Amino acid sequence: MRKQMLEDLLMLHGTNPQNWPADMRASMKTCLKSSPRFAADYAALARLEEELKSCLRAPAVPALAARIIAATPPLQHTYLPPQELGGQERGLLAACLAGALVIGAVIGYFIGGGTVDDSLSRLATAALYGGRALI
Amino acid sequence: MSGAEDKRSDAALMAGIAAGEQSAYAALVSRHSMRFFRLAYRLTGRHEDAEDVVQDAFVQLWRAPHMWDPTHGSLFTTWFYQVISNRALSLRRQAARHPQEALGDIVDSQCGAEETLNAKHRRLWLESRIRALPERQKLALVLCFYEELSNQDAAEVMGIGIKALQSLLMRAKATLREDINSFDELKAGGQG
């Protein structure tokens, strides 16, 4: 039973003693010296490992990374909702909107003959202060 | 894009990619593309398919970096092994449904002059036996033996427990060992 377990461990972890479970390493080394069957298993597995190493060797692919990078499209920058903008960006956006409103109000004032509706006046003031006056 | 010398960790590069930083993406691709190409090649058996698998996976990663969630505890490489394995095996399954396209690379990956005809014949035959293993056994063998992942990591990539992985690995090795014995017996019979 124990011998079978050691054989299973050998099959599982391979022939390199460094890969054997630390608590079983000494037992496996002893068994390797004392059991011809275990030694034969070891030799067969060592041969299999050696042959497997020569198989499935991937070919070299020069400039694979460069080709992947070249094939990657640039990100499509999409609209970011206000909550994803930083404080500085939010301030800039508010200032632009306020500026546009103020310019609109001034133009409207002159076109309308110098009379400004009270609500428009309040709106322009609100815009000037980044929307805080509306709250 | 450039950044092959970037010393940041994979997780830091992924954070950069999530922020749209192209140099982080370039560094990650430069660091890992060949490793994942080797895995894809061993699973698909075709050079072009392997390249496509790796390229598509990285492009997808660039578009949707949040697919990797570091809070789940797995390393980027473990997660990406999973991505590549799934894509490669899926492609392999599709190819198997169209046998005329599933011949695989017949090209010899290492036909050096030093390799004797006998050794070459034996190697090609063994490669065919590895490819003929059941999918899960082959993946376990490739991850543990060729990619040298720990059993724990390989089990995580495959989404199975360690016992199940060990069982697959042992069955794969036992099958291949029997195959080699059969090959030797046939050869001995042919010579006798």
Mean pLDDT, range B44-48, rounded to an integer: 92
- B127 and B65 both lie in a single domain: no
Q: In this model, does residue A92 exceed pLDDT 60?
A: yes
* Percent of chain B at pLDDT exceeding 90: 66
- B1 and B81 both lie in a single domain: yes
**B48 to chain A: closest CA residue:** A61
Only one residue has tokens 């903008």, namely A85
Can you give the CATH number for the domain in which B149 is found?
Answer: 1.10.10.10
- B89 and B130 both lie in a single domain: no
Q: Mind telling me how many Å the CA of B8 is from chain A's nearest CA?
A: 18
| Cβ-defined contact of B42 to A54 (cutoff 8 Å) | no
Q: Residue B192: which domain range?
A: 108-192
Task: Identify which has the larger pLDDT, B172 or A107.
Answer: B172
User: What are the CA-CA distances from residue A24 to residues A29, A46, A100, B81, B157 (Å)?
Assistant: 9, 19, 78, 30, 27
- B116 and B100 both lie in a single domain: no
* Position A129 in a domain: yes
- Spatial separation of the C-alpha atoms in residues B46 and B103, rounded to whole Å: 9
Q: In this model, does residue B172 exceed pLDDT 50?
A: yes
Say how many domains are in chain B. 2
Mean pLDDT, range A9-31, rounded to an integer: 89
Enumerate chain B positions whose Cβ falls within 8 A of a Cβ in A. 1, 4, 20, 22, 25-26, 29-30, 33-34, 37-38, 41-42, 47, 50-51, 54-55, 58-59, 62-63, 107, 109-110, 119, 122-123, 126-127, 130, 142, 145-146, 166, 169-170, 173-174, 176-177, 180
Tens of pLDDT, residue by residue over B122-165, are 889 999 999 999 999 999 999 999 999 999 999 999 999 999 99
Q: Mind telling me how many Å the CA of B179 is from chain A's nearest CA?
A: 10
- Residue A47 touches partner B, C-beta closer than 8 Å: yes
> How many A-B residue pairs are in contact by the CB < 8 A criterion?
92
Say what the pLDDT of residue A133 is.
46
Average pLDDT across chain B, whole number: 87
Say what the pLDDT of residue A79 is.
45
Task: Identify the band that residue B107 occupies on the pLDDT scale cut at 50, 70 and 90.
Answer: very low
* Position A81 in a domain: no
Q: Which chain A residues are within 8 Å of B18, Cβ to Cβ?
A: none
Mean pLDDT, range A35-59, rounded to an integer: 90
Q: Which chain B residues are within 8 Å of A47, Cβ to Cβ?
A: 180
Q: In this model, does residue A46 exceed pLDDT 60?
A: yes
Q: Name the domain boundary from B66, B81, B105.
A: B105
Say what the pLDDT of residue B106 is.
44
Q: In this model, does residue A66 exceed pLDDT 80?
A: yes
- Spatial separation of the C-alpha atoms in residues B91 and B43, rounded to whole Å: 9
* Position A90 in a domain: no
Task: Identify which has the larger pLDDT, A61 or B100.
Answer: A61
Say what the pLDDT of residue B77 is.
95
Q: Name the domain boundary from B77, B105, B133.
A: B105
Can you give the CATH number for the domain in which B28 is found?
Answer: 1.10.1740.10
* Position A71 in a domain: no
Say how many domains are in chain A. 2
Task: Identify which has the larger pLDDT, A74 or A46.
Answer: A46
Q: In this model, does residue A125 exceed pLDDT 70?
A: no
The answer for residues whose C-beta is within 8 angstroms of residue A105's C-beta and 6 or more apart is A116, A120, A121, A123, A124
- B167 and B143 both lie in a single domain: yes
- B84 and B150 both lie in a single domain: no
Task: Identify the band that residue A118 occupies on the pLDDT scale cut at 50, 70 and 90.
Answer: low
Its pTM surpasses 0.80? no
